[in-house]
């Protein structure tokens, strides 16, 4: 195939910037900077763009590796406004804090289960890939 | 340049809310006509690509030196299971060949248009069909395949994997792609050979002036903003972009950033983002180009692109691109041009934005790389030379 386009215009080096951005993301992931993010809506939308069974598996594997570590504290409570808005938020937050005492054990067990499940699925997928090759 | 008799076949032509393929057809047809070729357009009377209702009168008219023939759309011949087949195809599930055929027969067709091609096949040097996904292209290119060229505007989508299209790509005389990655995709999907393929695209010109302040003033924009321009729909990943911006705003309160949405189609903006996401809708071309110039970057989250007109326009206006890294076409443009950044997930989206915001002058340098790329590869001069070379390659 003849390449009719020139490669690499002068000016900035986008490929180098992209590598730097990837490194920054990796460092932030390691440092737990993104742990406070709720990306469930993002994940659902990204999933809807997946086109084939192979893409679906690849995407799902990536997502479960990113999301197995559920965060008990990640529960945004918003005010719907009005005169009762602020007291309602205060009350809901108080109830949530009280419930946390009882639900903590359940969450930690779920996290342990998620972790083992993700390891098992990823490992099975690797074995399947190796067998297919 | 030899004078040629060329007919473009496109389902809609000369409509205000035209898609990329229609804009490409119009731009190239007018340029070919201006350079001395005899150019016709064979199209339907439809204006709305959802209903395909006959809107224009059938007949002939001349629009900027291009003779436009309009033919009525056939009554829809949709099979009872059309919707179910479409649903399965769009999910990527394999369907039987007879189901594929029933599905494409339910697309937009015009028997009088096909008759015109049959009766006038000797009058024209070639018929150029676009885009690949419509009934008029599939059935029309079968009438005189030895004279048919295809501008597929191909994306990597489940429809592209249908057997009916493999047949169509194999039977036509030549295929004109908009970009290298699109051509590589066709080679992977259909085994398209070099002898029947060329990259041509469409051309772009910078506007005489851009007035970014006018855009900012008109819409009361005081902070940096990302601009989205185009059809607002799930297939273009507009909801994903809205969600990305919502998450960015929540996670980065020190970096005020807005999202401005241009174009047609419904958008649902979460109530908590009402102040950060501005839905402007359809605006005139001058204002749109001012919007590019005023933006921090043009964000193109879609993975379904064969060229991305808005990215080229934004580069000419002085804005860099921020594109979806899962789209081979737009990320290839950005790398080759050194004109923009690509994100593959939310984390990279956020980090790209922080990088842009944190490096003074980077926006301008990226945009300058993009502009040079458009001027070199997608100026009308460069594109018309490629069309000429392609016609020579296909012996037309």
Cβ neighbours of residue B305 closer than 8 Å, sequence gap 6 or more: B155, B327, B329, B330
Note the pLDDT tens digit of each residue in B106-125. 999 999 999 999 999 999 99
Note the pLDDT tens digit of each residue in B137-169. 999 999 999 999 999 999 888 899 899 999 999
Contact A5 B180 (CB under 8 A): yes
The CA distance from B289 to B291, in Å, is 5
Residues B357 and B224: beta-carbon distance below 8 Å: yes
The backbone region for B59, taken as left when phi is positive above 0, alpha when psi lies in -120 to 50, beta otherwise, is: left
Contact A51 B156 (CB under 8 A): yes
Q: What is the least distance, in Å, from the CA of A119 to any CA of chain B?
A: 22
Nearest CA in chain B to A55: B92
Contact A6 B336 (CB under 8 A): yes
Q: What is the least distance, in Å, from the CA of A93 to any CA of chain B?
A: 19
Nearest CA in chain A to B303: A49
The backbone region for B308, taken as left when phi is positive above 0, alpha when psi lies in -120 to 50, beta otherwise, is: left
The CA distance from A77 to A95, in Å, is 11
The CA distance from B201 to A32, in Å, is 45
Residues B370 and B340: beta-carbon distance below 8 Å: yes
Half-sphere exposure of B365 (CA within 13 A, CB side): 14
The predicted structure's pLDDT at residue B124: 97
Contact B251 A42 (CB under 8 A): no
Q: Which residues of A66-97 are buried (b: 16+ CB within 10 A; e: fewer)?
A: bebeeeeeeeeeeeeeeeeeeeeeeeeeeeee
The CA distance from B199 to B27, in Å, is 16
Helices (H) and strands (E) in chain B, counts: 15, 14
The CA distance from A91 to A94, in Å, is 5
The predicted structure's pLDDT at residue B17: 61
- Nearest Cα residue to A21 out of B1, B111, B211, B334: B334
Q: What is the least distance, in Å, from the CA of B351 to any CA of chain A?
A: 6
Closest residue to B348, CB basis, from A21, A41, A49: A21
Closest residue to A45, CB basis, from B239, B334, B376: B239
**Strands B148-150 and B126-129: what pairing?**
parallel
Report which DSSP code applies to B352. Answer: H
pLDDT values of chain A reduced to their tens digit, one per residue, 133 residues:
333 444 444 568 999 999 999 999 999 988 888 877 888 788 778 766 666 666 777 777 877 887 787 766 656 676 767 788 888 888 888 888 888 778 888 888 888 899 899 889 988 988 888 887 7
Closest residue to A42, CB basis, from B244, B368, B377: B244
Note the pLDDT tens digit of each residue in B15-40. 666 788 999 999 999 999 999 999 99
Backbone angles phi, psi at B210, to 5 degrees: -120, 140
Closest residue to B335, CB basis, from A3, A14, A51: A14
Q: B124 by DSSP, 3-state: which?
A: coil
Residues B1 and B35: beta-carbon distance below 8 Å: yes
- Nearest Cα residue to B224 out of B173, B175, B259: B259
Residues A25 and B347: beta-carbon distance below 8 Å: yes
Nearest CA in chain B to A4: B199
- Nearest Cα residue to B77 out of B106, B110, B50: B106
Q: What is the least distance, in Å, from the CA of B368 to any CA of chain A?
A: 8
């Amino acid at each position: 195939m003849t390449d009719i386009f020139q490669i690499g215009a002068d000016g900035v080096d986008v490929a180098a910037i992209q590598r730097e951005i990837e490194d920054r993301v990796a460092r932030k992931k390691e440092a737990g900077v993104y742990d406070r993010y709720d990306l469930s809506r993002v994940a659902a939308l990204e999933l809807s763009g997946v086109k084939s069974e192979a893409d679906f598996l690849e995407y799902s594997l990536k997502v479960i590796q990113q999301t197995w570590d559920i965060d008990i504290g990640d529960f945004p409570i918003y005010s719907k406004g009005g005169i009762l808005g602020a007291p309602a938020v205060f009350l809901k937050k108080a109830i949530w804090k009280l419930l946390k005492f009882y639900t903590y054990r359940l969450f930690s067990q779920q996290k342990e289960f998620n972790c083992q499940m993700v390891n098992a699925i990823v490992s099975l997928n690797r074995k399947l890939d190796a067998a297919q090759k | 340049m030899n004078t040629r008799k060329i007919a473009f076949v496109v389902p809609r032509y000369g409509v205000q809310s035209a898609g990329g393929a229609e804009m490409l057809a119009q731009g190239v047809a007018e340029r070919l006509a201006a350079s001395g070729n005899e150019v016709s357009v064979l199209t339907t009377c439809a204006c709305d690509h959802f209903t395909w209702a006959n809107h224009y009168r059938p007949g002939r008219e001349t629009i900027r030196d291009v003779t436009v023939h309009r033919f009525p759309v056939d009554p829809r011949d949709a099979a009872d299971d059309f919707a179910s087949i479409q649903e399965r195809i769009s999910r990527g599930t394999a369907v039987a060949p007879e189901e594929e055929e029933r599905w494409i027969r339910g697309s937009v067709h015009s028997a009088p248009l096909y008759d015109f091609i049959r009766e006038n096949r000797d009058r024209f040097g070639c018929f150029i069909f676009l885009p690949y996904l419509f009934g008029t292209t599939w059935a029309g290119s079968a009438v005189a395949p030895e004279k048919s060229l295809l501008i597929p505007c191909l994306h990597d989508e489940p429809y592209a994997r249908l057997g009916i299209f493999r047949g169509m790509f194999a039977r036509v005389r030549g295929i004109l792609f908009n970009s290298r990655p699109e051509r590589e995709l066709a080679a992977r999907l259909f085994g398209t050979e070099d002898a029947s393929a060329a990259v041509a695209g469409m051309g772009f010109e910078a506007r005489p002036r851009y007035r970014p302040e006018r855009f900012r003033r008109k819409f009361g924009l005081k902070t940096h903003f990302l601009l989205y321009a185009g059809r607002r729909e799930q297939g273009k990943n507009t909801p994903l972009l809205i969600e990305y911006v919502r998450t960015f705003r929540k996670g980065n309160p020190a970096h005020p950033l807005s999202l401005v949405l241009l174009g047609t189609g419904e958008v649902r903006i979460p109530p908590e983002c009402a102040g950060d996401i501005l839905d402007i809708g359809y605006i005139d071309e001058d204002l749109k180009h001012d919007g590019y110039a005023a933006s921090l970057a043009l964000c193109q989250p879609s993975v379904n692109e064969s060229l991305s007109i808005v990215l080229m326009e934004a580069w000419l206006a002085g804005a860099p691109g921020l594109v979806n890294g899962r789209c081979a076409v737009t990320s290839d443009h950005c790398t080759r041009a050194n004109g923009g950044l690509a994100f593959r997930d939310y984390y990279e989206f956020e980090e790209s934005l922080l990088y842009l915001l944190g490096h003074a002058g980077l926006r301008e340098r990226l945009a300058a790389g993009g502009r040079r790329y458009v001027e070199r590869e997608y100026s009308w001069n460069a594109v018309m030379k490629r069309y000429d070379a392609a016609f020579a390659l296909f012996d037309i």
